[in-house]
Amino acid sequence: MLTGEGRLFLEIGLGQAEATRELLLARGYEAVEIRRDAAGIDRVVSGAAPLG
């Protein structure tokens, strides 16, 4: 479990970015971001640990 200022980073496959983003938001993660790789493909979804 992440605490404090922890941040979760998930490497994802092609076409999984939005579903992963929605999952993190539903679990209370904040500042959720999708990052692309060098080829321009969505590759990592990250989010700040939920407070509380």
pLDDT in tens, 1-52: 677 789 999 999 999 999 999 999 999 999 999 999 999 999 999 999 987 6
* Residue-level pLDDT at 52: 65
Cα-based distances in Å from 18 to 5, 11, 43 = 23, 13, 11
Name the pTM for this structure: 0.88
1-12 confidence digits (pLDDT tens): 677 789 999 999
* Residue-level pLDDT at 26: 96
Cα 8 to chain centroid distance, Å, stands at 6
**Quick check: helix, strand or coil at residue 35?**
strand
